[in-house]
Each structure stands twice: as structure tokens, then as C-alpha cells.
Structure 1
Amino acid sequence: MGRQPGSRPGAAGFAGALGAAVAAAYAATLPPSVPGGDSGELITAAYELGVAHPPGYPLFTLLARLVIGLLPFGSIAYRVNLLCSLLGAAAASLLYYTVFRLSGSYAGGILAAGVFSFSRLTWQWSIAAEVFSLNNLFVGLLMLLAVRFEEATTAKERSEISKVGAFCCGLSLCNQHTITLYVLCIVPWVLFQLFKGKELSLGYLLKLGLCFLAGLLPYLYLPASSYLNQARWTWGDQMTFQGFLTHFLREEYGTFSLVERFWMQSNAVVAVLAGLGLASLISVGNRVLENNPLLYCLEWLSAAALVASQIYTNYSICDQSSNYVVDKFGRNLLSSMPPDAIILLRGDLPGNSLRYLHYCEGVRPDVTLVDQEMMTYKWYLPKMAKHLPGISFPGRQWNPVEGILPDGTLTFNLHHFLKVNKNREAFACIGLNEGDSTWRKSYSLWPWGSCDKLVPSGIVFNPGEWIGLTRHIYNWTEDYGRFDPTSWDAVADEEMWQARMKTAFFIFDLAETATVSADIKSQLYTFAYDSYKEIIHSHKNHPVNWHKNYAIACERMLRLHKADVDPEVLLSETVKHFLLYTEKAEDDPQRADILQAVKHLNRELQGLRKVKQM
């Protein structure tokens, strides 16, 4: 009887070696601290033994907590990043072994693992503390089990494999729910094969169901964590069946919205198909290859060359080993806060990075993080208020319209919350919930780095004093524009660079809109102009809108007719920076109007120069 396609000796060992090579490449590019996205929240949930956002990811949470406790080196975030890289490498090994068993081709297996592991998205998400690499591992495992099931020659062997597969299907659903798209393909196929072979019975089906349910056991972690309520950060209340179901079905996000990240997993299917395609091409010459070691070597080299080219192409994008950008962003923000401040969080950045730094690394334990979005959920304050000492909540749920809901829940708005906590300075990062504008009754937003301070309206804004107070906040040292535009590093960098201009813009906007005397308005414009000028001339690379803001400030100063400022210099700077802006911001809908204004300003500049020459 002939040998099976994937039965060559040493294949499993080679799969392990390939996985080790992928792990080494990933480990060399790991971020040393917290990445962007959901990483900060997932790490914090694991560290605190809380519950992550829907559907809770209990398997990832428990694995991450185990690794955090076992590994004695690196930051807490680095340990979880390392775990994810190892899971991603294991997925590569499984994909290689799957293709090899199907085709008997080493090159096909290498191609599959290379296409998958070193594609940009896979690499990017395999070195971050995210759930995707564990999901990739399950995809590879289910593919391999499907191949082994197809190869099985006895009913007993098929029975054992199908039970293991049922357990793995359940366990995989304890991570990311996109795996459902694979389970719904594999399970009917396996059942049909068993039915066709007359091996499927009611008792057998019951055993498979029990194996599947056994795989779901990690979900018991959710109500256990919710009941203990020891985590300083958690999501949802799973102590009731309805609460558990709400979380499990992602109702707060939109049930079954699974396709959002499916491409990262469908990459595995593409890789397998590519590997099988190469295997089919070389299978024609299998007999020649068996008699010619040189051609075997060339086959290996061709596949290895593809893997190497993928590494070379993606390394510069995925190498995060020297980047602390999201970490720096969070530390900069926390360090800028006065003692005992309240930080009203909004959005993934800065929310998740601040959660990690505050709860896991112990940065600024005196400040208090309050989630704006979470306060709108009924479960948040009953679960979390005890973990927010020193904060008063004038109700049990945030709602723009105060009152008592039909279920008896007392609501409060932002204005009331600020009023009962007036003894502590409050900051909005980034922005405030658009649905609640009640704070405008008694408060104003003044720029404070990448955040805004909520200041009682009776306090008069003093530009000089405020600039002096906040100047130390803008100590960002990263070069503008050096990060991949699609990365969280770029988002953090952009936020910090824009923050540098916020105070100047605030003063300028005050001069434009405030009802003040002409003398005060002139002082405000002068402050704004001086700030813009200092910022623009001290940074060669900066956000493109800085050119536009500075040009407008120069134009306003020109209309003030200040004796100590040369009109020709102001006109020249206005024209120069408007043109620089239009060159770099071609998609601005006002571009044509700006260029038309530049023509008038240019004529005015030429006329001024002629007058000077007379």
C-alpha cells in the first residue's frame, strides 16, 4: 500500500522548527509595552481578572493572566504580547502541517505558512496583545483535524477525532466569535461524512454535543468574576442569565457582527489554498524530484525565498520593538494631571492605554478614571462605584435627561456630576459625550494637552497665565509623520502634535467669537499669533493644518495694524503658509477659495512693496 501524501518522516519536527523560526521573527519585533486598540483593555481585564468587552474572551483572559503570573521578565504588556506571538507561531506550524499532510509537499507547506504568517495584517496582530492570534491557532487546528478526519481509516479513529474536534469547536468559541464561520462549515461536513458511513447515531450525537459543551466551560469565568466583583476594571454584569446572554451575544455591540475582522482569519484559508496550488504544480514532477536531490533543494529554496521576501517587506512596518508611542502618550497624559484629578475617558485612545498604565503599572494612583460611555450602562455604577473612591455619583446611571426610569433607576447628567464633585478638577479625554451638553450651563472647556479641563464659567481666561501653566505638558519628542498612517502609533502621535496647537487655537477662537473690548481682542490675537509663530518656526515637520492656522493668524494681525509688526512680513507669511497648506491638503473643500484669497493677498503684497520702493 502506498504512503499517504503527508506521511514522510520528520514532518512534525519540521513543523516545530518552522514555528520556532516564526516565533523568533515575531519576538524580535514585539512592542515592549502596551500597543493600541483593545490591547490595553484586554491586558487590564486579564491582570485584574475582570471581564473584557463582549463577548468577554474568557479563554484569552485566563491564558493571559497565567502568563502574567508565570513570566518573571518584561512589562505586563510585553508578557501578553509574547504570549500572542507564540500563539501566532503555533498557528503557522499547524497550517504548514495541514498543507503538508494534504499534498506531501514541503514547499507547499512552507509557502502556506509564509503567506499567512508574514502577511502584513497577520504579523501586525500577532505581536500585539489581541485575541486574533489565538483565533488563528484555532483555525489552523480545526483545519488539521478536518484533514485527519478525512484520512482516518477506521470508525474508532473518526470517532476520536470528531470528539476532539467538537471540544475544540466549543473551546474556540470562548475566544473570538468569527470562528463560527469555520465551525458552520466544518461541523455539517463531519456530520454528513459520519451519516454517509452509517456511523452517526443519537447516542453518538449526544456525545459530540457534550464534548462541544465541555469546550464552552471557560465561560463560567464570566459570572464568577462578576459575582466576586474584585476587578477595578470590568465590563457588564453577568450574574444573571440575561446579563450573561447580553454579553455572550454581543448585544451592546450588535449581535453577530462578525465580519469586521474576518479577513485576518480568511488569510489562513488563502494561505492553505496557495500552498496546495504550489504543491499541485510540483506534484507533476514528484517522480523526478524523488530521484534528484538538487531539485528537492530548489523546491525548498523557492518556498523559503517567498517567506524571506515577506519578512523583508513587512519587517519595517511590523517592527515595534523600539516603539513606546502609545505608552508614551498615556504616560504623558497622566503625568500632566494635577493631584486627585478626575479623568473622563472617551474612546479607545486614550482610554485603553490609560487603563493599562493606571491599573497594571500603577501610574498615577491618585487620579481617578471614569468612563463616559460606561456610565450610560445600567450595570456600570452598581459594579464599579466601589472601585472609584472619593467620587460622588448623584444617581445610578448617566443620562442627559435627569429623572427616574420606569425600572426605578435614578439618572443624572454631566452638569450634576460635575457639581457634586466640584472639589476635584475634572478633565475630558478626548472630548465629551455629544448627547449631553448640560455642562455648558456652568462650565467651559480649556485646553490641557490632549485633554480639556472643565473650568467653571465664572473664571476669566488669562492667556499668558494659561500658556505658562500648560507649557510643560507639550514635551512630545517623536518626529511627526514617521509612523505607518494606519497604526495606533500614528493616531497617538497625531493627537499629541495637534495638542501642541490647541491652546493657540483656543485663544484665537476666543478672539474671533468672544464679546470683548477691542483692546482685549487685540491682546488675544497677539497671544495667538505669537504662539503660532513660535510653534511653526520651531518644528520643521508638523501637521498640515498648522500652516493654515498660522496663515489666518498672520492675516488677522495684519488687519489690527499693529505698529510693532511689519505688514510686509505678515502678508508674506500669510501667502507662504496658505500656499504650503494648499499643496499638502488637496482634498480640502475650501482649497479653491483659499487659492483665490491668496491671489488677492499677493496683489496686496506687490502693491505694498511698490509703495516701499517709492
Structure 2
Amino acid sequence: MGLHGDGGGPAGGRAARVGPRRSGGLRGGVAVFAGVAAVFTLTLPPSVPGGDSGELITAAHELGVAHPPGYPLFTLVAKLAIILFPFGSVAYRVNLLCGLFGAVAASLLFFTVFRLSGSHAGGILAAGVFSFSRLTWQWSIAAEVFSLNNLFVGLLMALTVHFEEAATAKERSKIAKIGAFCCGLSLCNQHTIVLYVLCIIPWILFRLLKEKELSLGSLLKLSLYFSAGLLPYVYLPISSYLNQARWTWGDQTTFLGFLTHLLREEYGTFSLAKSETGSSMSKILLSQVTSMRTQLSLNIQALAVWANICLARKNRQNPSLVWLFTGMFCTYSLFFAWRANLDISKPLFMGVMMTYEWYLPKMAKHLPGVSFPGDRWNPVEGILPSGMVTFNLYHFLEINKQKKTFVCIGIHEGDPTWKKNYSLWPWGSCDKLVPSEIVFNPEEWIKLTRNIYNWTEEYGRFDPSSWESVADEEMWQARMKTPFFIFNLAETANIPSNVKAQLYTHAYNLYKEIVSLQKEHPVNWHKNYAIACERMLRLRERGADPEVLLSETIRHFRLYTQKARNDPQLPDIFVALKHLRKELQSLRNRKNV
């Protein structure tokens, strides 16, 4: 992969190789940065992207603490970008910053490959394929920590190559110190980079030992440089102590609280999520290989394998570096597959905030007018050993009864106490908690909530693996919440038959409206509308044509069976379809007679 040197010894050979490559590598790196930055900038989201972006932007804007492990470096640099960039919204400025991080990562990757191979084409290919693969591109233009992580990985690889090419002990010592600082600094962003750090550090120490340049004093200096890189973590207790941000996570004013946040104990330190049973290691590894083929193409995968095979040839320079980078990648993939305790068939996981003991002490002052009947939310009320008074959701609602209370993205299943005296009524994509003594008036509620549904995105236009797809699904399903609620009320409530008939009629009309107006919509709408038509058939209401209702029931059940292949109720639906077709034929025969 490398060019032969003309010098008489290893140092001379390295110096001969580095000379022409250094300037070429820098010029090429700048060109790659400019090209990638231009593309990323043109494709930046103008506002808040999906995922954790909203939280990270808010934490940076208000100088709060983001979710574990806190991401202090990203928060501080993003705040600096918000202040310095003179254009765009706050979200756009952070998106732009991340796009620039991604462009720097691309230039560092070019630099690394070029210095290893001497090939501009190889460097451009590596940087281009990586930067413009779908996932890298997607997360390089969003306000997320991933592009900064990519930058650090590229930086550590470039420094490692530079260290290997160093011709003197003084130069190696200088690069080792810079690298130690960057290793520490990188851990102030995303902790997964520790797997790369744990591969690079032993390799560097081994090379220093081999050159007889490693002593106790130099090891201590490297440790100090590494520790200096961790200094941004001082920001966490400072921000928590000042408590000025309306959005912040955790209480880092105590050493235990700091460690809890730093080690991600609320998620599970070595896991992606707490208390989750994920897919098997083999399944995740297979998914990684499949994803690589999708993102990079089979040709790139084959080239990567062939490059490692070529390392066996004796005339190749720096094979140990390529093996090191290959080992880093394999270690990361294996560890991720082992510890990624998430079901890869589920795109997202939701969390609860008020159950954390730090939430109310830190955040209550930023919620003026909201009363809390204790110190911590817990379904079981009482006094904890720490002296904290717990309260359940029922008493929280009772003490804030004069206020309108809404629930979005579901309500905590572990605390059903609210059901004692409250009901959930649909309110767009959210629900309103209403005291049970208030009687539901379907006509008024339909009129009140009709114009809430203002979602304009087409159904299914986003990639199924994206956060935007999840939001799109939520908003489309929200259109159905009112008819679903009214229909369910008719099915379950102990009410007079005439009231039940009115509820069924309202549900039918609402289902008919949303299904007829939308060309593409969630598949379960077909099933729900078909059931609503069938209930109208039973009512035999005046003005409802039985033939039309039967035809609609059959049509939408049939459409549902074509699209929902995994529904366990499909056999029952097929039986119902057979019966309904007979009824329709019988009805038409009677009409003809």
C-alpha cells in the first residue's frame, strides 16, 4: 500500500516518504473538506431534525446538561456556534456545525488513506464513499454527536499514521502527547470511541517501547495530557450547580450524581438502554453486514476484504497500521453487537423523566404555576429512606385540577392511579385528562378537535428507519384517534341503546371521512373502517344503505388482508369476508326479485 523510501535506514525511508506526501496530503485534505462541506451545507435541515437533536440543541442554547453521559464538549462547541454564526435559526447553526464536523472527518480520512497509500484517488474514494453513504450523510447534517465522533475517529487515525511516519524521537513524543490529549477530549463526546482508544494506546506504547523511548516520566506526561483532555467534564457540575437551564438532565452537584451521569447508570453503563431485551449478537452482526452492503455497496465491501488480503505481500509498507485499523473496526462491531440490548425491529424507545429523583429538585422552579404534592413521582406513595415524599399521578392531577392537563406519546403504564377519577379524551396527537364527572359530548368534542389535525406530510414518504417516519406515523394515526375513541366508547360503555347508536354513527362518519379523503394512509384504517361499517349494518339505521355498507365492509377488509400479512386475526377476517360476500349476494338477489 505504501511507496518505497530512498533513505538508507528506517528513519531516512520515512523522511523520504513523508516529504512529498505531506504537502499533497494537506492540499488534498483541504479540497475534500471544501467539497464535502459544500454538499453537506446545501442539504442541511433548516430546523430541528429528528432523534435527540432537539434536546441537544436546547441543552446547548440554555447551557444545560444533555442526557447521559452529558456530552459537555458538544454542548460547549454548539453554544459557541450559536453565538458566532450570524445567520439561520439556532437549530440551523448547530446543524451547520455538525456538517462542518462531518467535512473535517472526511478530510482526515482522506489524509489517512493518502499517507498510507500515496494515492490521491484512494483517499478521495475512501472519503467520498464514507461521507456520502446514507447514514453518514444523514447524521452529519443533523444536530447530533455522531459527526463529532467521526471527526475524532478520523483525527486519531491520522495522528496514528503521522506517529508511524515520524523520523525522530522528539517528533514521536510530540505526536504522542497531542494524541493523548485528543483521546481524552474524544471521550468528552461519545463514549463508544473508547473502543478505538483502547486499541490505539497499547499500539503507541508498544512502538515507543520498541524505540526505547518509553519511561516512567514519559508515561506520566502522557497520562497528564490524557487527563487534560477530560477537562470539559467540569462543565457538568458547574451547569448543574448554576441551574439556569429550563431543560437539563440529572443532578451532577454531588460526586455520586456526577458518576451516575458520566457512567450512564440510568441507561445501563455498558448497554444502549436499560432493562431491554435485544436481538441476538449474531442477528445484529448480520444486520451490520447487510447494512454495510446497502450503505457502501458490495463492491466496496469486496475492496476492503481484498485490501487486507494484499497486506500479506512482503513489499507492502505499514501493514501493521492497516491491521490496527481493521482490528479497531472489528472490535467496535463485535462489542456493539454484544452490548446493543435493543430489538433492532423496534426503531425507538421512550423514557420517563419525573420518576428520577433529581427531576423535581432541579426542574420545578422552571415550571411556575405547576404544583407538586411531593418530591418524586412514584405509584406507591410514602416516604423514602432518603426522606423524599413520593406522590402518584392521581394526586398530582388533583392538586392541579384547575389546570388543563395533556398527555403526549402515552401515559406511564406503571401508575394507573389516575384512572380512579380521570379519563383520556383524544386531542390531536396527544390526549386530555378529563375528570370522570364530566359527560362526554361527541358533537362538541368533534367540533372542538376537528381542526387540530394539520399534518401536511404524505404518509410513508420517509425512510422506515428514520425518526421522521416515526413522527409521520404518529401524526397520521392521530387523525384516527377521535373516531377510535368514540367507537371504543360505544363498544365498552354501559349506555342506553340510542346513545350507543349515536356513537357508532359518529365513529362511522368520521372513519368514512378520513379514509375517503386520503389516497395513502395507515393500513389499520381499512380494518377499523370495515368494522365501523359492519356495526352500522347491525343498527339498521334509516338513511344507511345496507348494500353500500356491505360493499364497503368487504372492500376494506380485503384491502387490509392484502397489506397486513402478519395480523394474527387474518383467518377470522377471511371467514368474515366469506360470510359477508354471501350476505351481499343474498341482498342483491332479494332486490332483483
User: What TM-score range do you get, normalising by the shorter chain?
Assistant: 0.7 to 0.9
- Is the 1:26–1:126 Cα contact (8 Å) retained in structure 2? yes
- Is the 2:28–2:110 Cα contact (8 Å) retained in structure 1? no
Paired residue for 1:149, among 163, 177, 180?
Answer: 163
**Structure 1 Cα separation of the partners of residues 568 and 41 of structure 2:** 45
Paired residue for 1:477, among 452, 456, 459?
Answer: 456
**Which secondary structure does the structure 1 equivalent of 2:354 belong to?**
helix
Map 1:345-364; keep pairs closer than 5 Å: none
Residue identity matched to 2:583? E
User: Within the alignment, does 1:192 sit opposite 2:238 as a pair?
Assistant: no
Deviation, structure 1 residue 257? 2.6
**Structure 2 Cα separation of the partners of residues 211 and 492 of structure 1:** 44
User: Within the alignment, does 1:16 sit opposite 2:9 as a pair?
Assistant: no
Deviation by residue 1:520-575 (Cα, 9 ceiling, x = unmatched): 11111011111111111111111111111110000000011112211111101000
- Is the 1:5–1:104 Cα contact (8 Å) retained in structure 2? no
Deviation by residue 1:73-131 (Cα, 9 ceiling, x = unmatched): 11111110000000001000000010100110111111110121111111111010000
Paired residue for 1:236, among 233, 244, 250?
Answer: 250
**Structure 2 Cα separation of the partners of residues 85 and 200 of structure 1:** 39
User: Within the alignment, does 1:556 sit opposite 2:535 as a pair?
Assistant: yes
User: Within the alignment, does 1:427 sit opposite 2:441 as a pair?
Assistant: no
Change (3 A) 1:398 1:258: closer
The residue number in structure 2 matching 1:25 is 39
- Is the 2:28–2:120 Cα contact (8 Å) retained in structure 1? no
The residue number in structure 1 matching 2:583 is 604
Deviation by residue 1:458-479 (Cα, 9 ceiling, x = unmatched): 1111111100000110122221
User: Within the alignment, does 1:133 sit opposite 2:147 as a pair?
Assistant: yes
The residue number in structure 2 matching 1:174 is 188
Deviation, structure 1 residue 10? 2.8
- Is the 2:62–2:247 Cα contact (8 Å) retained in structure 1? yes
Map 1:141-540; keep pairs closer than 5 Å: 141-257=155-271, 373-540=352-519
Deviation, structure 1 residue 11? 2.5
Residue identity matched to 1:162? A
- Is the 2:394–2:417 Cα contact (8 Å) retained in structure 1? yes
Deviation by residue 1:237-293 (Cα, 9 ceiling, x = unmatched): 11111111111111111112369999799999x9899579679989x9x9xxxxxxx
**Structure 1 Cα separation of the partners of residues 354 and 81 of structure 2:** 31
User: Within the alignment, does 1:42 sit opposite 2:56 as a pair?
Assistant: yes
User: Within the alignment, does 1:97 sit opposite 2:76 as a pair?
Assistant: no
Residue identity matched to 1:564? G
**Structure 1 Cα separation of the partners of residues 184 and 24 of structure 2:** 31
Deviation, structure 1 residue 591? 1.2
Aligned-CA RMSD value: 2.7
**Structure 2 Cα separation of the partners of residues 510 and 5 of structure 1:** 77
Change (3 A) 1:458 1:6: farther
User: Within the alignment, does 1:62 sit opposite 2:76 as a pair?
Assistant: yes
Residue identity matched to 1:505? F
- Is the 1:92–1:117 Cα contact (8 Å) retained in structure 2? yes
**Which secondary structure does the structure 2 equivalent of 1:23 belong to?**
helix
Q: How many corresponding residue pairs?
A: 531
The farther-off stretch of 5-14 and 505-514 is 5-14
- Is the 1:103–1:279 Cα contact (8 Å) retained in structure 2? no
The farther-off stretch of 403-412 and 588-597 is 588-597
- Is the 1:109–1:275 Cα contact (8 Å) retained in structure 2? no
The residue number in structure 2 matching 1:111 is 125
Deviation by residue 1:178-222 (Cα, 9 ceiling, x = unmatched): 110000000011111111222111111110000000000000000
**Structure 2 Cα separation of the partners of residues 436 and 538 of structure 1:** 38
* Aligned-pair identity (%): 71
Deviation by residue 1:121-161 (Cα, 9 ceiling, x = unmatched): 11111010000000000000100111111111211111111
Change (3 A) 1:21 1:38: same
**Which secondary structure does the structure 1 equivalent of 2:369 belong to?**
coil
Task: Structure 1 unaligned segments of length 5 or more: list them.
Answer: 287-346, 352-371
The farther-off stretch of 131-140 and 67-76 is 67-76
**Structure 2 Cα separation of the partners of residues 272 and 84 of structure 1:** 27
**Which secondary structure does the structure 1 equivalent of 2:480 belong to?**
helix
TM-score by length of 2: 0.86
Q: Which has the higher contact order (CA 8 A, sep 6+)?
A: 1
TM-score by length of 1: 0.83
The residue number in structure 1 matching 2:20 is 7
The residue number in structure 1 matching 2:339 is none
**Which secondary structure does the structure 1 equivalent of 2:121 belong to?**
helix
The farther-off stretch of 168-177 and 273-282 is 273-282
Change (3 A) 1:496 1:272: closer
**Structure 2 Cα separation of the partners of residues 98 and 145 of structure 1:** 8
Change (3 A) 1:143 1:114: same
Change (3 A) 1:471 1:36: same
The residue number in structure 2 matching 1:311 is none
Task: Structure 2 unaligned segments of length 5 or more: list them.
Answer: 1-5, 8-15, 279-283, 316-346
Residue identity matched to 2:475? M
- Is the 2:18–2:165 Cα contact (8 Å) retained in structure 1? no
- Is the 1:442–1:457 Cα contact (8 Å) retained in structure 2? yes
Deviation, structure 1 residue 495? 1.1
**Which secondary structure does the structure 2 equivalent of 1:469 belong to?**
helix
Change (3 A) 1:258 1:518: closer
**Structure 2 Cα separation of the partners of residues 243 and 7 of structure 1:** 52
